[in-house]
Amino acid sequence: MSKTTCTYWNPLDSEQQHHWSWLEGLEDQVDQVILSHDNATGEFTRLTRFHPGSDTRAFGATVHDHPEEILIVSGRLWDAAFSMWLETGHYASRPPGEVHGPFHTDVGCLVLDVAFPQRL
């Protein structure tokens, strides 16, 4: 199997809001829309939207046993693990085991996230 495909659409259009879902425990702060996924491998591409004032400090830092890539599409996000603001255009290719977060934002942030769960 391979990742799902679709024709052009705009997940940021207000008429597409029904495709977005809140991240568990972060309702009214952080939501996501899955753009494509592979059920066999778990690989996915998504947009994650941190609304202004979002704060994940209660959840602590995050670490995955697989690589992932992120691109800050808009806004800015504080990454406590790196003590830096990630701003529009920042990109990272994170290796398995890299600690990141917790995160917070004052103005909001949109992140493109690609995860590769079976690539350990």
**pLDDT tens digits, 65-99:** 999 999 999 999 999 999 999 999 999 999 999 99
Residue 8 lies in a domain: no
Nearest by Cα to 117 from 102, 96, 100: 96
Q: Is the pLDDT of residue 32 over 90?
A: yes
Residue 22 lies in a domain: no
In the prediction, which pLDDT does 117 show? 87
* Number of independent structural domains in the chain: 1
Strand spans (E) along the chain: 21-22, 30-37, 44-50, 68-79, 84-87, 91-94, 103-104, 109-115
Residue 101 lies in a domain: yes
The phi and psi torsions of 79 (rounded to 5 degrees) equal -105, 105
> Domain range for residue 61?
40-111
Residue 24 lies in a domain: no
Q: Which residues contact 28 (CB under 8 A, 6 or more apart)?
A: 22, 51
Residue 48 lies in a domain: yes
**Residue position matching structure tokens 């702060």:** 29
Rounded to two decimals, the pTM is 0.93
